[in-house]
Structure 1
Amino acid sequence: MQVAVRLFVAVLLGGLIGFEREQNNHAAGLRTHIMVCMGSCLLMLLSAYGFAAFAEETNVRMDPARLAAAVITGIGFLGAGTILHTGKSITGLTTAASIWVVSAIGLSVGAGFYFASISATIIVLFTLWALNKAERRFMNGKKERVFVIMTDKRADMLEKLQGLLLASGIMVRKASMQTEIENGMTQDRHVIRLHLSLRKQEEPLSVMEKLHRVEGVQSISME
């Protein structure tokens, strides 16, 4: 009975954190967090009680913490799967951290530390929900976006685009321009790649719209 209670508590606590991640459309959501938390709890139960029959055997040394340490180390592959690296922009770190914390909560539940597990869950939910809103509102963080712009073959195109961006307070981190080649033939167009540092309140679509208004811009896309 005690084993079942601990497993269901792990499902509940992991599900609460997973639900928050699911609501925000992250790669690891409700089911992933539930499975990680319950699996960690089960392994902790196995470590604590699963080998009790061998405890009295000669030359057998029991170490319940050994399996728990392996869980924390092994959970890294799931966290790594949620991290995406695009140019200089890295996303998914918070979700990777939440998976790692959920595994620790599952281990705590399996060991019977209910108060610590519930307290940790409340702190995690506060961090993911309340602090995320505060960060978006008060912190002037920046994110990098890459824009690919197709333009007429004019020498001043890069200068015109950069002038517009600087006037809008947008920093150009990196820029490149090359003549488009299609089927081995040089085309009468330039391909310009701009790595822009945008403020969090700056909408990428509005930036695209501004750039598309520049004379000579044929098309624009964002990576």
Structure 2
Amino acid sequence: MELNPPLSLAALDIDLFLRLAVAAGLGLLLGLDRELRGHAAGLRTHGLICFASSAMTVSALALFYQLDGARVDPLRVFEAAAAFLGIIGAGLVVFAKGSVKNVTTAVHLWLTAVIGIACGAALWPVVTIAGAGALILLVILNLVEDRAFPDTEANTE
């Protein structure tokens, strides 16, 4: 069996650490709001999804360059993440008493995976804008909704 040549532990560097650590940190931060509100997918789930997406992307890119692009398509990371999160998201979304619950959480997990993929690819402008945008959309807009629409079903998600 022919395998790719192994990377030595000397390949551990600040760039690799930064890609994975930023993903883990942002995932935890994005999950904090969901955790504090008692939703199904919280701190650990968001942290793990973002970290795993980053590690998956780093691995795909490393193999692509290590094998000179032969039989390796790093864009398949998106397909794998989308398929996995489709399953997780479908399990989260619940239709009960005439309303749909957990859609925001499911979509937020998908966004967390995208941010993890961007971290793994070291697309720092995308990470910055997507991370800030996610925090604004999830936390700040939730505060606005709570004040503007205090008794609506949208605020129970």
TM over 0.5: yes
- Measure, in 2, the Cα distance between the counterparts of 1:90 and 1:68: 27
Who is 1:113 aligned against? 123
Cα distance in 2 for residues equivalent to 1:140 and 1:132: 11
Could you tell me the percent identity over the aligned residues? Answer: 32
Q: 1:31 aligns with which of 41, 44, 48?
A: 44
Structure 1 counterpart SS, 2:100: strand
Counterpart mapping for 1:163-178 below 5 A = none
Counterparts of 1:11-90 in structure 2, within 5 Å, are 11-55=24-68, 60-90=70-100
Secondary structure of 1:33 counterpart: helix
Output the CA distance in 2 between the equivalents of 1:50 and 1:111.
Answer: 13
For residue 103 of structure 1, the aligned residue among 113, 129, 145 is 113
Displacement of 1:25 in angstroms is 0.7
Aligned to 2:3: none
- Partner of residue 161, structure 1: none
Q: Give TM-score, length-normalised by structure 1.
A: 0.58
Which one has the largest radius of gyration?
1
| Greater fraction helix | 2
Contact 1:83 1:92 in 2 (8 A): yes
RMSD: 2.1
Which of 118, 134, 153 matches 1:124? 134
Structure 1, unmatched stretches of 5+, are 144-198, 201-223
C-alpha displacement of 1:133: 1.8
Could you list the per-position Cα deviations for residues 73-103 of structure 1 after superposition, in whole angstroms to 9, with x for gaps in the alignment?
A: 3211122222222131211111111100000
Which residue of structure 2 aligns with residue 216 of structure 1?
none
Q: Could you tell me the TM-score, scaled by structure 2's length? A: 0.81
From 139, 145, 149, the equivalent of 1:135 is 145
Q: Shift of the alpha carbon at 1:45? A: 0.7
- Check the 8 A contact 1:105/1:120 in 2, yes or no: yes
- TM-fit CA distance, 1:61: 4.1
Which runs of 5 or more residues in structure 2 are unaligned?
1-12
1:53 Cα shift? 3.3
